[in-house]
Structure 1
Amino acid sequence: MTREFTAATAEEMTQLGRRLAADLRAGDLLLLTGPLGAGKTTLTQGIGAGLGVRGPITSPTFVIARSHPSLHGGPPLVHADAYRLGGVAELDDLDLDAAVDSAVTVVEWGEGLAEELTEDRLHIRISREDDVRRVSVTGHGARWTGMPLAAEG
């Protein structure tokens, strides 16, 4: 199942993240792909806001991974950036497989590296055309079969 969205502003990207968060639960893995400046971290900020986790959520490029605990008893958010990783072995060193079971895990630049963490995952691809971001959300695995991803609400 794939849904397509557009976001012309950072606020619209944040709101899309909030909408996605409504469908998320502990154990969910999201792989974000897109060029530098596409809005991956902005989308993750919206997801974090929707989940009600402690912030601020900033790009984890240099620290590789950050954990944001819930402020309301929900699942924590683990936000990782695989951009600087040299391969699957370095991703394994982060122990994200443990986080995937108990948190909502977002991995920027994770496509081609993090799919093995779980067969149930969302691939989110962001492209830019002028000032508009095009966001494609594709669900993989039984968890996402028939799910109304980011329904209006």
Structure 2
Amino acid sequence: MTFSHPYNLDEAGRIGAAIGAALAPGDVVLLSGDLGAGKTTLARAMLKARGLAGEAPSPTFAIVQPYAPPEVDLPIAHVDLYRIEEEGELIELGLDDYLYDGALLIEWPERLGAQGWPEALVLTISGSGDARVLTAGVPAAWEARWPLR
């Protein structure tokens, strides 16, 4: 199922919170869009929905920013692959390990190359300024719990 939703920046928190509340162990959310599109804003709203107090730092330099209880109610790794140059570097990150009992939020999933998760929720943000469009590729595992209709 593909879903497209126009929104403005004021709605980004609500949208991210709705998706974050629906996260379950084993979920992978891929966040695509140009620089400044709002990927981190959506990811932060998802983390806040899971109980994170304060603002999550961007994982641009750390690459992987893990969150675990009691900080959040579901272990989540916020990943930014912008600085990944070769597919081989991904193995060192051990991303699959987070899926045993938690979820992954991955910015710049284009850097995954041939690796990836076919059942991932794919969120693409387009537009600029206050006029954005969220296009979601909603896999079967998400159809019953997809919060935006």
Q: Same fold (TM over 0.5)?
A: yes
Percent identity between matched residues is: 32
Partner of 1:12: 11
Which amino acid in the other structure matches residue 147 of structure 2? A
Q: Residues 53 and 76 of structure 1 are in contact (CA less than 8 Å); yes or no, is this contact kept in structure 2?
A: no
Per-residue Cα deviation, 1:25-82 (whole angstroms, up to 9, x for no partner)? 1110011100111100000011001111355312111111101123377311200101
- Is 1:30 the counterpart of 2:52? The answer is no
Per-residue Cα deviation, 1:110-129 (whole angstroms, up to 9, x for no partner)? 13517735332111100114
1:114 to 1:5, Cα distance in 2 relative to 1, 3 A: farther
Q: TM-score, normalised by structure 1?
A: 0.85
Partners of 1:42 and 1:115 lie apart in 2 by 27
Q: Which moved more, 1:47-56 or 1:61-70?
A: 47-56
Partner of 1:131: 130
Partner of 2:65: 66
Which amino acid in the other structure matches residue 137 of structure 1? A
Partners of 2:114 and 2:74 lie apart in 1 by 21
The Cα RMSD (Å) is: 2.2
Q: Residues 55 and 68 of structure 1 are in contact (CA less than 8 Å); yes or no, is this contact kept in structure 2?
A: no
Count of residues paired in the alignment: 149
Partners of 2:147 and 2:27 lie apart in 1 by 14
SS of 2:100's equivalent in the other structure is: helix
1:82 to 1:133, Cα distance in 2 relative to 1, 3 A: same
Q: Residues 8 and 133 of structure 1 are in contact (CA less than 8 Å); yes or no, is this contact kept in structure 2?
A: yes
